[in-house]
């Protein structure tokens, strides 16, 4: 098998520059395997892939290959919440405790759905020790979160919730729709999963670790609890157990086409091919409305958060100032641009130390915009 990457998939000749940018990433950034997709005004205009699924380059990246997108899954969760808001099951401005009464304990009774999704709840991590495998027990870890005391006064600051954001959004979805995030995704038939079965595990790409750790900036109490404690994540459990669990904030698996397509309603005022997936235009506006801007208490960035997505500060999602999106540890990202009626996703397996704004993704997104 050749060790030179070949771009495959579908795109019109006008998007040749995107394919060339994908190949350039192999030369400049040691890309291993990748998929990239874009949907413009309801039509998938780019769906390409290249490279390999394993470190040793034994198997080419195929159209059904999936990879872990880590926190890019938070974007998908935000879309599922918006669907629930559109149906009347949820309201961004109501307290989480209206839907999840136990959550209102210990000073959390006034935290709204929007505040919880925009990382204002003061629940970025747990002070009390827990076994890493407890993250895989949904009811147990949600009970722990419901009993937690905020680490700062809710609504006064933003501090990224790397794991617990998935508990907040996921439990709200479960309680108001009767289905988990993973069950919602399975019902759609896309190459996008939260909780893998054996078949999905078999087509999931290996995820080589980044060459160095991410730069978390100055380490404070919040950063430590969110990322660095032995119980901050389920990192010590087996790979198979972690892949099988439902952790909407950190272990969704999919490809770029599935990500770009599921997020597209946010780019087109809520329109969707299936009537049950249509989102009211006013709900889309509420979902993308900036909720807070500030120096993040956990991440070393100044961020503007909407209800689950971050605004495109410093070109993290390409050149458009109207874009919103989310990135995942290692480099993946998904973004929507309502001004251009465009959604884009980048999924790869060779992880980088970038928390947001991976240069591989930015190069591809920028090349796409140059072609529009």
Tens-place pLDDT, residues 215-261? 999 999 999 999 999 999 998 899 999 999 999 999 999 999 999 99
Tens-place pLDDT, residues 342-354? 999 999 999 999 9
- Is the model's pTM score more than 0.95? yes
How many other C-beta atoms can be found within 10 angstroms of the C-beta atom of residue 127? 11
Question: Which pLDDT score is estimated for 235?
Answer: 83
Segment 62-86 mean pLDDT = 99
C-alpha–C-alpha distance, residues 360 and 30, integer Å:
10
Q: Token digits for 265? A: 């309603």
Question: Which pLDDT score is estimated for 1?
Answer: 54
Planar angle of CA 220, 171, 333, nearest 5 degrees: 60
Tens-place pLDDT, residues 106-117? 999 999 999 999
Tens-place pLDDT, residues 35-62? 999 999 999 999 999 999 999 999 999 9
C-alpha–C-alpha distance, residues 295 and 305, integer Å:
11
pLDDT at residue 194 is higher than 80: yes
How deeply is 87 buried, as exposed, middle or buried, from its count of CB atoms within 10 A (0-12, 13-18, 19+)?
middle
C-alpha–C-alpha distance, residues 72 and 52, integer Å:
21
Calculate the average pLDDT of the chain: 97
Spell out the domains of the chain, with CATH numbers in brackets.
8-73+182-371 (3.40.710.10)
Question: Which pLDDT score is estimated for 221?
Answer: 98
Q: Under a CB-based contact definition with an 8 Å cutoff, are residues 48 and 39 in contact?
A: no
Question: Which pLDDT score is estimated for 2?
Answer: 66
C-alpha–C-alpha distance, residues 130 and 110, integer Å:
26
What is the bridge-based pairing of β-strands 192-193 and 342-348? unpaired
Tens-place pLDDT, residues 81-135? 999 999 999 999 999 999 999 999 999 999 999 999 999 999 999 999 999 999 9
């Amino acid at each position: 098998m050749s060790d030179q990457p070949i771009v495959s998939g579908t795109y019109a000749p006008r998007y040749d520059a995107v394919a060339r940018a994908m190949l350039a990433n192999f030369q400049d950034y040691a890309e291993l395997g990748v998929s990239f997709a874009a949907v413009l005004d309801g039509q998938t205009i780019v769906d390409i892939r290249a490279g390999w699924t394993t470190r040793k380059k034994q198997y080419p990246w195929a159209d059904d290959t999936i990879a872990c997108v880590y926190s890019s899954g938070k974007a998908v969760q935000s879309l599922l919440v918006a669907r629930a808001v559109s149906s009347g099951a949820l309201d961004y401005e109501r307290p989480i405790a209206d839907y999840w009464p136990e959550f209102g304990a210990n000073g959390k009774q006034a935290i709204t759905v929007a505040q919880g999704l925009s990382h204002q709840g003061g629940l970025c991590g747990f002070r009390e020790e827990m076994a890493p495998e407890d993250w895989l027990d949904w009811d147990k870890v949600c009970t722990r979160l419901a009993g937690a005391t905020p680490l700062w006064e809710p609504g006064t600051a933003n501090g990224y919730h790397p794991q617990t954001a998935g508990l907040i959004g996921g439990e709200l979805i479960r309680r108001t729709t009767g289905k988990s995030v993973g069950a919602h995704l399975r019902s759609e038939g896309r190459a996008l999963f939260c909780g893998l079965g054996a078949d999905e595990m078999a087509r999931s790409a290996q995820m080589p670790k980044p060459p160095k750790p991410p730069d978390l900036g100055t380490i404070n109490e919040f950063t430590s609890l969110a990322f660095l404690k032995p119980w901050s994540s389920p990192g010590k459990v087996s790979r198979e157990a972690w892949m099988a669990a439902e952790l909407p904030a950190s272990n969704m698996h999919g490809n770029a086409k599935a990500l770009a397509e599921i997020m597209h309603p946010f780019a087109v005022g809520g329109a969707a091919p299936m009537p049950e997936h249509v989102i009211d235009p006013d709900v889309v506006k509420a979902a993308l409305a900036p909720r807070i801007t500030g120096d993040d208490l956990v991440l070393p960035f100044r961020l503007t958060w909407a209800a689950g997505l971050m605004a495109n500060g410093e070109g993290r999602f390409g050149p458009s100032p109207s874009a919103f999106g989310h990135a995942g540890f290692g480099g993946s990202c998904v973004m929507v641009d309502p001004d251009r009626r465009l959604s884009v996703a980048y999924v790869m397996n060779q992880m980088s130390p970038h928390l947001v704004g991976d240069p591989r993704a930015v190069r591809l997104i920028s090349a796409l915009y140059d072609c529009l």
